[in-house]
Amino acid sequence: MPGLDGTGKLFAPIIPILEQHFDLTIVTYPDLDSFSDYVDCAQRQLPETPGFSLLAESFSGPVAMALMAQQPDQIGASVLSSTFARSPLAALTRMASYIPEQVFSIGALSNFVLDVYETEDEDHSETQPLPLNITEQIDGVLLKHRIAVLSRIDISAMLPAIQVPILYLHALRDRIVAQTDAQMIEEYLPDVERVDIDAPHLLLQTRPQLCAELIVKHIQSGR
């Protein structure tokens, strides 16, 4: 389940590793109006057979947790990466509604933000090339709408009801998800294992081998 881009294309570095162990379905999102719309959209793309696992990063984390709360018997051991239960940087994301759509479509600005806040000039020489120009392919109106949805997310009240065994991958150098966001998930989810990794926000992209090993172990063990 993808981050803010909604395409799943940023999973490129980790997919070749995970598909050696699992049958994968990549959830994608069109432009939607509300958080509940994203939950419904993801639900329609999930397998019908119970026992599947979810891997959700960033924006999709709360979507995945909402599904876990609604369908406790359908979802097996799952993984959350660089995510939150309550909107991070809420004040900044709310400002998006006052910014012209054109700003979100400027490739140079988008790449700068992606680099500084999500990858921090990481050396990707040992991984598949990251599609860092992905933000240039996103329509400005769509991205603005999605950030507006992000600014209103708060599923903190759902956390105690989620019984799914969860592996929570937390990036120690994350400039988007704060330590308090990680602590909320760790404290309020009944069955969670947190692993801290020295990496920026795009954890699955910059540490694909390590993350894949942790994901496979967690899902195959049922924890």
The predicted-structure confidence for 1-60, as pLDDT tens digits, reads as follows 999 889 898 899 999 999 999 999 999 999 898 999 999 999 999 999 999 999 999 999
As a whole number of Å, the CA-based R_g of the chain is 16
Report which of residues 133 and 210 the model is more confident about: 210
Query: Mind listing the domains of the chain with CATH numbers?
Result: 9-221 (3.40.50.1820)
Q: For the residues 73-80, what does the mean pLDDT come to?
A: 95
The C-alpha angle 45, 57, 36, rounded to 5 degrees, equals 50
Alpha carbons 215 and 217: distance in angstroms, whole number: 5
Write down how long the chain is: 223
Region of 58 (left: φ > 0; alpha: ψ -120 to 50; beta: rest) is: left
**What integer pLDDT is reported at residue 142 of this predicted model?**
77
Q: For the residues 214-223, what does the mean pLDDT come to?
A: 92
Task: Give residue 175's pLDDT band: very low, low, confident or very high (50, 70, 90).
Answer: confident
DSSP 45: H
Q: For the residues 148-152, what does the mean pLDDT come to?
A: 86
Q: Is 50 exposed, middle or buried (0-12, 13-18, 19+ CB in 10 A)?
A: exposed
Report which of residues 150 and 219 the model is more confident about: 219
pLDDT digit string, tens, across residues 93-149: 555 554 555 544 544 445 544 544 455 545 544 444 454 455 555 666 777 778 888
Provide the 3-class DSSP secondary structure of residue 56. strand
Both structure tokens of 211: 């993350």
**What integer pLDDT is reported at residue 4 of this predicted model?**
86
Alpha carbons 59 and 53: distance in angstroms, whole number: 17
Global pTM value: 0.84
**What integer pLDDT is reported at residue 124 of this predicted model?**
45
- Beta carbons within 10 angstroms of residue 169's beta carbon: 26
